[in-house]
């Protein structure tokens, strides 16, 4: 179990959880307190452990477990994901929202992250958290659609690449600053207003 997974699993396990922590999104996507927008095909919720000031997850009602299950038939659905993301960019014009998927998701049910550039949040704690949003581990939705159009499926990343992306030295996502550690990075992020 990775650091990211274990730290959030222990937070999750404080609440009464009838299912394994990796199924938590299935509960959350039905929770009116977390839902911010719902359409016929999709639901957008607030991420329970946000890694930035704005952090939403967009999920399909259709039972698709994750990106590994995507094929050409899902391109139209992914265009819907994009349309919802565009609505959020209109609502939060200054936030520099990005939309994408983790190359190796930890939670069940396909989910697209919509996250602001600030990366200021108490839940952003580890290098793994940081690198999962600031390296190629974060795959923009347009790249996913392009790969599905070209190859009909997504090529999984290798264990070696996964390890090297997670081990990437810390670097600010808004300038060339190379922090010594996470507290140093978090302090630095506050200077970008």
Phi-psi sector, 101: left (phi>0), alpha (psi -120 to 50), beta: beta
131 near ligand AMP, judged by CB under 6 A: no
Query: Using the rule CB under 6 A, is 28 a contact of ligand AMP?
Result: yes
Residue 80: which H helix or E strand, with range?
A: helix 75-91
CB of 36 to ligand AMP, least distance (A): 12
105 interacts with, out of ligand AMP, Zn ion, none, CB within 5 to 8 A per kind: ligand AMP
Between 44 and 189, name the residue whose CB sits nearer to ligand AMP: 44
Nearer to ligand AMP, 67 or 189 (CB): 67
Long-range contacts made by residues 33-38, C-beta under 8 angstroms, separation at least 24? 37/84, 37/87
Q: Compute the distance between CA of residue 81 and CA of residue 112 in angstroms, rounded to an integer.
A: 8
Query: Is 105 near ligand AMP (CB under 6 A)?
Result: yes
- Report the SS3 class of residue 115: strand
Catalytic residue among 55, 74, 111, 129: 111
Q: How many residues bind Zn ion (CB under 5 A)?
A: 4
Q: Which does 86 bind (CB under 5 to 8 A by kind): Zn ion, ligand AMP, none?
A: none
Report in angstroms how near the CB of residue 45 gets to ligand AMP at its nearest.
6
112: left (phi over 0), alpha (psi -120 to 50) or beta: beta
Binder of ligand AMP out of 99, 102, 103, 137 (CB under 6 A): 102
- Structure tokens belonging to residue 172: 């600010």
177 lies in the binding site for Zn ion (CB under 5 A): yes
Residue 184 engages Zn ion in binding (rule: CB under 5 A): no
Please name the residue that has the structure tokens 């990796």: 22
Q: Give the β-pairing of 112-115 and 55-60.
A: antiparallel
Q: How far is the CB of 169 from ligand AMP (least distance, A)?
A: 21
List active site positions: 111
């Amino acid at each position: 179990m990775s650091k990211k997974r274990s730290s959030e699993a222990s937070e999750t396990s404080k609440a009464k959880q009838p299912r394994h922590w990796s199924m938590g999104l299935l509960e959350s996507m039905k929770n009116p307190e977390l839902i911010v927008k719902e359409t016929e095909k999709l639901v957008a919720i607030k991420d329970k452990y946000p890694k930035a000031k704005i952090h939403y997850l967009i999920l399909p009602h259709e039972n698709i477990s994750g990106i590994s299950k995507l094929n050409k038939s899902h391109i139209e659905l992914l265009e819907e994901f994009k349309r919802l993301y565009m609505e959020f960019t209109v609502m939060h014009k200054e936030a520099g929202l990005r939309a994408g998927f983790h190359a190796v998701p930890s939670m069940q049910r396909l989910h697209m992250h919509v996250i602001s550039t600030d990366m200021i949040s108490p839940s952003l704690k580890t290098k793994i958290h940081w690198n999962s949003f600031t390296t190629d581990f974060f795959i923009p939705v347009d790249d996913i659609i392009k790969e599905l159009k070209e190859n009909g499926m997504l090529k999984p990343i290798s264990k070696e690449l996964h390890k090297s992306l997670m081990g990437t030295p810390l670097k600010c996502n808004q300038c060339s600053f190379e922090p010594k550690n996470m507290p140093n990075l978090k302090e630095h992020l506050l200077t970008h207003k």
